[in-house]
Chain A
Amino acid sequence: MTAVGLPGVTARRSSLDLVLRARELGIVLALALLVAVTAISNPRFLSGQSIRDILLGTAILAVLAVGQAVVVITRNIDLSVGSVLGLSAFTVGTLLRDNPGLPVVFALLIGATVGAICGSVNGVLVRYGNVPALVVTLGTLYVVRGITYFWAGGQQINADELPAGFLEFGNATLLGIPYLVLIALLVLVVTGIVLRNYRVGRELYAMGSSPQAAKLAGIAVGRRAIGAFLVSGALAGLAGVLFAARFGTIDAAAGTGYELNVVAAVVVGGVAVFGGSGTVWGAALGALLLTTIGSALAVLEINQFWQQAIVGGLILLAIGADRLVAARVAARLKKRGSHVS
């Protein structure tokens, strides 16, 4: 009944933290193991070109995964990101083909804006339509893809139609790090800091953790949800520009099926599908792991059909690990919960 300084709190806390962090640690270990095994069997895996490919692929997936994590943390989901990526890539590609002088910064901004518009449509539908995000974004997935197909009408934008400066941006590096990776890192760090250290970020966690309590705590739940979808959409739009810069060839099918990779990266990265916990760092690590698996299987000359089975297995493993850790943590928290003797 007396308030004391609670000696030993820090020690107990750090061990608990370790359990909670185990998730990110697990991904890093899996990644290290995968890289080691693949490199031993085929040293080409560690060549500059191979690593560059993995990093570029990760950059695009990670930008999407960061946006998705923001949405999933609020106990929602955004399935439309692949289609938004496609629309943004096609919009920017068309603009650049017609105006070769357009600076890259503008291209990035335009892509993000296209995505932000799609994202706010998702957010508004979820907020005011009172429909689960799963259904809303499944709908917009097809609508946005349909719009892109209708607009493209079968045409394709080829690399030789795009300005050299833009393609250059897709390959150029700064201090040996590709611009695409730098952009992804910037997105990751900024989002990570906002989620961890700003009130807005904590409110997103709060509403995912308990929507009921969030309302009672006076959090503007609807506005925050729209905001989360807007961020996810904008990042998907940005990823579309990165996609265009990396591949150079854009048709209406760009990014088809990406949404499932993104959700997989987020789940493997330890963001709880019921909201309230997980970090964008984990989501980005998940993206890196999935991309590396794809490359490693190619290098190991394993039939790429196995890749899907392996990704599926990883998701199940991730969810199983979450359950296990959650159960153990809950038991421990219960045990040290009561201080009334």
Chain B
Amino acid sequence: MPTQTPVLCVREVSKSFGAVAAVREVSFDLYGGEAHALVGENGAGKSTIVKMLAGVHRPDDGTIELDGTPVELTTPADAKAAGIAVIYQEPALFPDLTVAENIAMGHQPLGRFNTIDRAAMTRRAEQLFARLGVSIEPNRPARGLSIADQQLVEIAKALSADARVVVMDEPTAALTGVEVERLFAVARSLRDDGAALVFISHRFEEITALCERVTIMRDGRHVSTDLVAEVTVDEMVRRMVGRELGALFPKQDVTPGVVVLSVEGLSRDPVFADISFEVRAGEIVALAGLVGSGRSEVVQSIFGVDPRDGGSVKVSGRTLKPGSPRAAMAAGVALVPEDRRQQGLVMDLSIERNVTLPRSRALSRLGFLTGGSERRSAREWTARLRTKYGRLGDEVGTLSGGNQQKVVLAKWLSMAPKLLIVDEPTRGIDVGTKAEVHRLMSSLAAEGVAVLMVSSELPEVLGMADRVLVMREGRLVAELDRAKATEESVMFAAMGQEVSV
């Protein structure tokens, strides 16, 4: 039975990272004995809320109240002391220590001379596992446990700390059906024992199966809090995405040309399976889906950075050698990766070096790189992309995020690719630069380049793409052309719900 007064109240909390407001004036209440779902698109601010509850981030504004008194959660230790336990999607265990030690860390039972009473520690772990109805050996190291078992250990940790608020951040993302069932059984018993549960998931069937109340967030703001029974799935999706599409995305109409990329039966166990699609010259095709649905892995496999288990990739009719980015580049494929700092740029090198890196061979004379040809080429491309920089010799790391992204684009565009793959092309860059990147992609398509775009931003997907391919859990589940693609239809497909609007 839910308690009458809330255990924990989030009151008007806000949090910004630099200029980006991740969470703005969000409020909701948690009651003991109740499971509360927190839903929203990628980037809606759910994880930031979780981290504030965990004591990892401090709210810039607003308060978190426990039993009606405001608490300061400055460090994870504070959150722990306040009885808040957080179970992350990737559990944070100590692989070298035993399961029992992982559970007891920080509050081990003490015996004589304040030494740790190992027998009591093991017994406690056994009791907790018995209560959870699972059998994990308390004295084995945590290394080698499956993700599901690790989560159960995390839950045992929360129990042993007498946590009254248990936050589960997408716990089911990496679990199989049986494991999800077991996790839910455990979660229900926690809830029935009076804990307040916060449950984050992208799967609506899980939310309706487990939760009593649902809070919907969008763009860092609180949209609504309702009883799950009183709101339909359709309504939830509409509230999650309900955004206005600006005229930010100027995709020019182009008649698609010949098939440039043809992917057939591409598989990589267990990340994705049986992916087949085509991209034509002049077309922008978006690969949509939730984070973790396998989108990035598919494009990395096409480019050859990641291996593949089966299937074929053809570019302009020629089969690409698997696992060889070099062959892909030779065939005219360019990949602008998701994480530009890690994969796209050499931060310590100059702008011109970065731009000309993939072509250093073509630009060299007798094996020597001459500064002149490098500079000429770099100047031409950075100008085309309207990159703002001090001098071409400056380190790339000194540029802003948007301009770094332009340098990455310049680097690949200068190769005159036939197929351009962009993974999250506008993540973390400001609106103005975003528009320029979009304009550029559109004009490239108009010049006959085939563009394959991975994006988590629905407005971008809908505005830019001629066709939208939707992935869910490693499979292509829908192909929607421009006319049919709406925020709702893409989200429904990405979450595995029938369109019933």
Residues of chain A lying within 8 A (CB to CB) of residue B139:
9, 13
Contact between chains at A340 and B106 (CB < 8 Å)? no
In this assembly, does A309 line the interface, its C-beta being within 8 Å of a C-beta of chain B?
Answer: no
- Contact assessment for B179 and A198 in the assembled complex, using a CB-CB cutoff below 8 Å: no
Inter-subunit contact A210/B135 (CB<8 Å): no
Please, how many angstroms separate the alpha-carbon atoms of A340 and B134 in the complex?
9
B94, B101, B116: the one within 8 Å of A214 (CB): B94
| A1 lies within 8 A of chain B by Cβ | yes
List B contacts of A216 (CB < 8 A). Answer: 54, 56, 76, 86, 88, 92
Whether the pair B149, A3 counts as a contact (CB closer than 8 A) is: no
Known: A6-B135, A215-B76. A338 touches B115 (CB 8 A): no
Determine whether the beta carbon of B140 is less than 8 Å from that of A198: no
Any A CB within 8 A of the CB of B31: no
A203 touches B144 (CB 8 A): no
Number of residues from B at the complex interface, CB < 8 A? 48
Judge if B497 is at the interface, Cβ distance under 8 Å: no
Given contacts A1-B133, A198-B116, A217-B106, contact A337 B95 (CB under 8 A): no
Within 2-17 of A, Cβ neighbours of B (below 8 Å) are at: 2-4, 6, 9, 13, 16
Q: Does more than half of chain B's interface fall in helix, strand or loop, or is it mixed?
A: loop
Q: Which residues of A contact B133 (CB under 8 A)?
A: 1-3
Residues of chain B contacted by A197 (CB below 8 angstroms): 115-116
- Which B residues lie within 8 Å of A6 (CB)? 135, 137
Q: How far is the CB of A78 from chain B (nearest CB, A)?
A: 20
Contacts of A210 in B (CB 8 A): 92-95
Whether the Cβ atoms of A218 and B97 lie closer than 8 Å is: no
Contact in complex: A340, B182 (CB < 8 Å): yes
**Residue from B77, B79, B81, B145 in contact with A337 in the complex, judged by beta carbons closer than 8 Å:** B145
Q: Given A206-B94, A333-B144, A337-B146, decide whether A218 and B134 contact each other with a Cβ distance below 8 A.
A: no
Residue of A whose beta carbon sits closest to that of B94: A209
Q: How far is the CA of A339 from the CA of B129 in the complex (A)?
A: 13
Most chain-A Cβ atoms within 10 A of its Cβ — which of B78, B94, B179? B94
> Which residues on the B side are within 8 Å of A16 (C-beta)?
140
B499 contacts partner chain A, Cβ-Cβ < 8 Å: no
> Which B111-151 residues have C-beta < 8 A from chain A?
114-116, 126, 129-137, 139-141, 143-146, 148-149
Closest beta carbon of chain A to B79's beta carbon, Å: 8
Residues from 28 to 87 in B contacting A, C-beta threshold 8 Å: 54-56, 75-81, 86
In the complex, A197 Cα to B79 Cα: how many Å? 26
Contact pick for B95, options A1, A198, A209, A336, CB 8 Å: A209
B96 at the binding interface (Cβ < 8 Å): yes
Q: Name A198's contact: one of B92, B115, B143 (CB within 8 Å).
A: B115
Contact between chains at A213 and B114 (CB < 8 Å):
no
Q: Is the CB of B149 within 8 A of A337?
A: yes
Closest beta carbon of chain A to B246's beta carbon, Å: 39
Q: Bits for A299-341, please: 1 = Cβ < 8 Å to B, else 0.
A: 0000000000000000000000000000001101110111110
Residues of A within 8 A of B105 (CB): 202-203, 206, 217, 219
Report chain A residues within 8 Å CB of B132: 3
Task: Tell me, yes or no, whether A212 is within 8 Å of chain B by CB.
Answer: yes
The interface size of chain A toward B, counting residues with CB under 8 Å, comes to 41
Set B92, B108, B145, B178: member contacting A199, Cβ < 8 A: B108
Inter-chain contacts of B110 with A (CB < 8 A): 199
| Least distance between A168 CB and chain B CB atoms (Å) | 35
Report if A340-B54 is in contact (Cβ < 8 Å); known contacts: A3-B135, A4-B135: no
In the docked arrangement, what's the CA distance between A10 and B79, Å? 36
Complex Cα distance A16/B115, Å? 25
Rounded to whole angstroms, the CA-CA distance of A303 and B447 in the bound complex is 74
CB distance from A289 to the nearest CB of B (A): 24
Contacts A6-B135, A199-B108, A218-B76 given; indicate if A209 touches B144 (C-beta within 8 A).
no
Do B144 and A277 touch (CB < 8 A)? no
Roughly how many angstroms separate A259 CA and B75 CA in the complex, as a whole number?
Answer: 36
A3-B146 in contact (CB<8A): no
Contact A218 B178 (CB under 8 A): no
Query: Do residues A330 and B114 form an inter-chain contact, with CB atoms below 8 A?
Result: no
Residues in chain A near residue B88, CB distance under 8 A: 216
Question: How many angstroms between the C-alpha atoms of A212 and B90 in the bound complex?
Answer: 11
Interface residues of A in 270-314 (CB under 8 A from B): 272, 276-277
Chain B neighbourhood of A3, CB < 8 A: 126, 129-135
Contact present for B144 and A337 (CB under 8 Å): yes
List 17 additional contacts besides A3-B135, A276-B97; criterion CB under 8 Å.
A3-B134, A13-B137, A202-B101, A202-B108, A202-B116, A203-B105, A205-B97, A206-B94, A210-B94, A216-B76, A216-B92, A217-B106, A218-B78, A329-B143, A333-B140, A336-B137, A339-B134
Interface residues of A (CB under 8 A from B): 1-4, 6, 9, 13, 16, 193, 197-199, 202-203, 205-206, 208-210, 212-220, 272, 276-277, 329-330, 332-334, 336-340
